[in-house]
Structure 1
Amino acid sequence: MSKKSKRHQDHEEHADESWLLPYSDLMTLLLAMFIVLFGMSSVDSQKFQEMSEAFNSVLTGGKGVLDHNSMINQNENSGITEDVTKALNKKMSDLKRQEEENLEALKKRLDKYIDQNGLTDQLDTKLNQSQLMITISDIALFPSGEAEVKPEARVLAKAIAKMLEEFPDYEVFVSGHTDNIPISTNQFRDNWDLSSVRALNFMKILLLDDKLDPKLFIATGNGEYRPVASNDTSAGRAQNRRVEVSIIRKYQDSVEVKSVQ
């Protein structure tokens, strides 16, 4: 046989080495994994977090088995969160208690003023979970069907304003209300107009006290649509014709800081 034929047979019997390429890739990946595992055994928590975020972002697009919060500091963060929550709730409780004491003291002063001036049938106070409300009958403030505050009622408004100075950063709502008897005059088209102007005029007198902040005061007119008594009787209609001055609580029972799990 010729030398050329012999060389041809040797070439055909040469071993297939194509498996070396995937084998080398596998070895490279294994080496990279062991390097990462070795690095993980000695890095600090900050570096671990950075690495885990990078892995999660690339591999899963979010949190996964390398989630720093769940693997390293879950118990520690939980304890800190509970401590902060308790501290915040205690602070909130203290503020609510102080507010309650202050509002109760103001109510007592108002009630004393009402008694001393013989206004028990014209003024009333009520303290509830949302506000301290001063209700003033319309006959104590305005002539019938009008919105100009009586001169003697200005004294009352100034006394209330003086007491409000103790709550300089509280919101105060002044709302006007009427009965359901229709009104139509050159000045007022309906009860909406009458109740709105009455509330606004009374609020302006309160704000003559320059220690009160106008941006915290809101005047609204409700017309006949929020009655406190039946409009079927004259006594009920008299109760419905009123102006309410409400000091809005900041710290109500529904406000509570809850721990984030």
Structure 2
Amino acid sequence: MKFTILPVALGAVLLLTQSCVSNKKYQELQTQHNDLQAKNKDLNVRFLNSQQELAVANNRVKSLEDQISAGRANLQALQNALDKCLTSSGQGNANIGKLVDEINSSNKYIQQLVNSKNKSDSLNMVLTNNLTRSLSQSEMKDVNVQVLKGVVYISLSDNMLYKSGSYEISDKANATLTKIAKIITDYKDYEVLVEGNTDNVPIKSNNIRNNWDLSALRASSVVQTLQNQFRVDPKRLTAGGRGEYNPIADNSTEAGRVKNRRTQIIITPKLDQFMDLIEKAPEKAPGATGTTPTPAPTQQ
């Protein structure tokens, strides 16, 4: 509603009475008229602002009503899901029970693996200590014994093992091989891999084609010495050559090439022991949702 009638009426009264009032009275009426016009203008502005605020409020109310409707729909969906869950709770409890049984079975299997690994680690340390104590100071310069990832590595230098440029075992190697053979014989539950390695300098020999041949022949010589001279069961022995392709040092220097020319005797637990553990792995409980844990891989 606009307040425009009152100023017009006042103006008419002023016109009719202007001739009959004094100037002082006229000025008072004029001042009142101006005040009323200012108030009218202010009321119009406030009215327009109120209209705009009302429109904003209406939009806000509509938005809130939409949110309330969406909330009610979501609440209904949650209620439906809860009803469905409660309906199937009996089956859910059965599945939880089966899952618990599977977890318990898996925990027992994991503990078996841990116990087996701990036993293997302990045996490896005893084996390593016994061998190290049996070697003299001079032998230790040509023999390096270490345990890596559950496997015992005995690295022998070429200078100690073989005659120069040959795969024949030297006489001075017998004393060291005797001590290694005793350890191998004492630990009958271990497999033995003999691995030959060379540097990258090509071999010059009429009987040996390349470093592949040389590394394999040298490994074979050690295996046959362990079998024939020290009576190690050949079923436990494997000979392999890796040529120049498994270096542990830089072949560009003489010192690096010396390190790379080596034969490793690798002692590992028998594979069938771990296969027995794998076969004992717990099967997934019928109807359970979990999966059987994957057995830990054996170290080779």
TM-score (norm 2): 0.57
Secondary structure class of the residue paired with 1:165: helix
Paired residues of 2:190 and 2:236 also in contact (CA < 8 A): yes
Per-residue CA deviations over 1:208-245 (Å, capped at 9, x if unaligned) read 344x4423322111111111111111111111111001
Tell me how far apart the structure 2 counterparts of residues 120 and 161 of structure 1 sit (CA, whole Å): 16
- Could you list the structure 1 runs, at least 4 aligned residues long, displaced by more than 6 angstroms after superposition: 255-259
User: Which structure is larger by alpha-carbon Rg, 1 or 2?
Assistant: 2
Per-residue CA deviations over 1:181-232 (Å, capped at 9, x if unaligned) read 111312211111111100001011122344x442332211111111111111
Work out whether 1:218 is the aligned partner of 2:238.
Answer: yes
Query: What residue is the counterpart of 1:104 in the other structure?
Result: 125
Query: What residue is the counterpart of 2:138 in the other structure?
Result: 118
Query: What residue is the counterpart of 1:62 in the other structure?
Result: none
Query: What residue is the counterpart of 2:214 in the other structure?
Result: 194
Residue pairs, 1:172-191, within 5 angstroms? 172-191=192-211
- Equivalent in 88, 97, 103 of residue 109 of structure 2: 88
Residue pairs, 1:181-260, within 5 angstroms? 181-208=201-228, 209-210=230-231, 212-249=232-269, 260=284
Paired residues of 2:139 and 2:176 also in contact (CA < 8 A): no
Query: What residue is the counterpart of 1:143 in the other structure?
Result: 163
How much does 1:166 deviate?
3.5
Provide the aligned C-alpha RMSD in A. 2.6
- Size of the aligned set, in residue pairs, is 188
Query: What residue is the counterpart of 2:98 in the other structure?
Result: 77
Where does the alignment leave 5 or more consecutive residues of structure 2 unmatched? 1-90, 285-289, 291-300
Work out whether 1:154 is the aligned partner of 2:155.
Answer: no
Work out whether 1:128 is the aligned partner of 2:156.
Answer: no
Per-residue CA deviations over 1:138-167 (Å, capped at 9, x if unaligned) read 011001110110123123222212101243
Secondary structure class of the residue paired with 2:155: strand
In proportion to residue count, which structure has more helix?
Answer: 2
Paired residues of 1:168 and 1:213 also in contact (CA < 8 A): no
Paired residues of 1:82 and 1:259 also in contact (CA < 8 A): no
| Identical columns (%) | 29
- Which has the higher mean CA deviation after the structures are superposed, 161-170 or 132-141? 161-170
Paired residues of 2:199 and 2:258 also in contact (CA < 8 A): yes
Paired residues of 2:121 and 2:150 also in contact (CA < 8 A): no
The amino acid that maps onto 1:81 is E
Tell me how far apart the structure 2 counterparts of residues 136 and 87 of structure 1 sit (CA, whole Å): 41
Residue pairs, 1:58-73, within 5 angstroms? none
